[in-house]
Structure 1
């Protein structure tokens, strides 16, 4: 385990552990980390490598307590509000090559056992922080569609939507209070206000909160809310982490840990830890201490 010390902007004093630089499996190349999430309540992170290797780690001890290789590329992860389940979307192309049909699955955090597998989502997804609902998207022709549903008896059932929202939808983030969903597509970030609707109708009047392209031509699909919900953190293609006001998109601060593209990013809502993963397979873990 290698440690790196650096100052992470004005929001964090970070002591970083390099958790992984995965070169396992049938490929000798470093595997990019495709997605990550934090468990809450709880104190664990999960992340997935490019060729399907899934790892769950305890950030307080950096102990890896679960590893799995389903053989498909995971594209998005989220944690259920009760901290019991880990929901994962898989790349449908990679999965079809392996003979599978299901594009998303539910696992139990404690032992990695599969507890749900009948569903229709394969793109970005995000779980509500206050209920058992999950916002999901689709790949292919339906990649702009968003729906809200729940798991029932190993099957994911859509309750609201799907609704055509945003072309090239790449990321979904559910607010800590549960009153809105943040959507990323192309270079743009939008809010979907769901406080007064069970039909996703407010999506017809999406509130644009920033075209976040002043410094970068593209934004990788990686973002997370800070522990207090007052800051939206997103990753730049140059390896920087940006801190924004979630209501306006204003950049409050920006910092860079290492000059490599960030492919997955998860700030733990309750624990003082942030996981940052890169295209070259390196996974960093920061102690998050607000200054």
Structure 2
């Protein structure tokens, strides 16, 4: 399901980062919780995923932030160079694979544009009365979006680490200072996530990635996808993804990143054993068709 929005404001948020506020075109926008993201369908036919970083209580607006990537595949470049206020854009319903779970204490670790999903998380944690702090890391203060907003709202809860001047934060010291049951939420570049995985226990750390981890899987093998609702059977060869095989067979599945990080191509598995290759952590009975395959010779899908 798509929602129609209008670009209400485009504002600089930091060096090479713009804040984009989308206004509901007609009905109130779908509700969301901290950690959620939306698919943004751009006029250049690209679909890109962005974390919501505004106020979940505001049903008239969504806010996202976009860094201009020097190696852009066309999404961030379009938004920075060509998108204008007043433009109509379709967006998906919010999806949340990075939810804020209950805890007696929170530590949020943000690296650059990774602040976006953590902004509403910090606000929600503080509003609940739970001890919460943010360590915000970037090369310099000028590269860190929403810095003034964070300082004005949260003051000493926010520790800013400009690595060109301050060096890298001591994550081991942060880990040792946490109380029992505390949760750590981290979003940022791959080296930061790798350092966090070394410093914090796996059961304590919740992380969201910009790009999938580099991992090795067994060689692809062909399998059969049985689509229960349509009554169709689709053969998936070794050299083709499940997503592409279904689309080529006339059974279109929504998709976005095609890297196993956004979740837009989620399918329900009724029978068979999927091989999960995503970076989200597919729930029981689900799989992401863009990267995941089958360990069994046959998968039955609710499609």
TM-score by length of 2: 0.28
Bigger-Rg structure (1/2): 2
Of structures 1 and 2, the one scoring higher in RCO (CA 8 A, sep 6+) is 1
Q: TM-score, normalised by structure 1?
A: 0.29
| Higher relative helix content | 2
Give the strand-richer structure, 1 or 2. Answer: 1
